[in-house]
Amino acid sequence: FPLLQVRDLRVQIGERTVLQSVSLDVQPGSLTVLMGANGSGKSTLGMALAGHPSYHVAGGQALLAGQDLLPLAAHERARAGLFVSFQSPPDIPGVKNNLFIRTALNAQREARGEQPLDAFDFLASAKQSAKALGLPDAMLARPVNEGFSGGERKRNELLQLSLLKPRVALLDEIDSGLDVDGVRAVVALVARLRAEGTGFVVVSHYLQMIEQLEPDAVLRLDRGRIAEAGDVELARAIARTGFARQRETVEA
Ligand code: ADP
Ligand code: MG
Ligand code: MG
């Protein structure tokens, strides 16, 4: 079975149904690009899969490696190997970045029956990953995202991704706020993790990055439904004509 299997997912925020019915499969090492106009529900999909309590799953299924995610709390989903990067990564005041990542990593190792990493080994690999992502070592000792710039927050999400090596990662507009070197780091990191089997869903409208990511599939979300599925040509068509034109073309 696929690593992640989402079937007819229906999500409500308060009284409002934001995702009507969304289905997608993520295979090991695959990459799916998710596009859609503002407000079409892309971030809602990530939040609902991550287990954010404000996003109520009113129907459908989400299985990670065959395990039902929906009854699990957010931290249990992360421990099972699901990583969701936020469009706006929040501050976690008072919690040091290195401890935050090490705790998450060791919870994941424990779930797999592996020994925890000791602090020294962890720090060595964290420093190496931080360097590869252009984050100064000092960021590791600071509270998570506190006082970080937009681009530093995004790089910090990438640092977590790089160290956690999840089974499935959903990256929500990871390119926004990143400079060209940051985007290049995303492409390199994603390629490395894909080669190790991580499956990706990437929300982006940045065509140049999408092309470099070499997606297996491109989906267009429209008002809470997958309106169109294709390959990188769909991303090119959307970049060329915009969502409104694309919708008219397909609905005509
Ligand atoms: P996208 O990421 O595709 O731009 P979102 O998933 O963020 O879209 O939002 C989908 C719809 O749900 C929008 O109309 C948005 O206003 C609404 N929405 C998202 N999050 C919340 C929230 N926490 N409270 C109320 N409405 C929300
Ligand atoms: Mg948006
Ligand atoms: Mg969004």
ipTM entry: 0.94
Per-residue pLDDT, 45: 98
| Residue ranges with CB less than 5 Å from ion ligand 3 | 42-43, 87
- Give me the pLDDT at residue 40, please: 97
Measure 145 CA to ligand 2 centroid, in angstroms: 21
State the pLDDT at residue 87: 81
Q: If you ran DSSP here, which 8-state letter would residue 117 be given?
A: P
**pLDDT number for residue 177:** 87
The pLDDT value given to residue 224: 97
Pocket-forming residues, ligand 1, beta carbon under 6 Å = 13, 18, 36, 38-44, 54
What per-residue string of b and e applies to 53-86 under the rule 16 or more CB within 10 Å gives b? eebebeebebbbbeeebeebeeeebbbbbbbbbb
Find the helix packing angle between 150-164 and 119-132, rounded to 10°. Answer: 130
**pLDDT averaged per 10 residues, the chain (length 252):** 95 97 98 97 97 96 97 93 90 90 92 91 94 90 91 92 96 93 95 98 97 98 97 97 89 77
Q: How far is CA 189 from CA 24, 78, 80, 109, 223, in A?
A: 23, 19, 21, 21, 31
Instruction: For residue 39, report the distance from its CA to the centre of ligand 2, in Å.
Output: 6
For residue 122, how many C-alpha atoms fall within 13 Å in the half-sphere facing its CB?
20
Spatial neighbors of 180 by CB under 8 A, at least 6 apart, are none
CATH fold group of domain 4-251:
Rossmann fold (3.40.50)
pLDDT of residue 60: 98
pLDDT of residue 77: 94
pLDDT for the residue numbered 251: 81
Q: Ligand 2 centre from 47 Cα, in Å?
A: 13
Q: Give residue 199's pLDDT.
A: 98
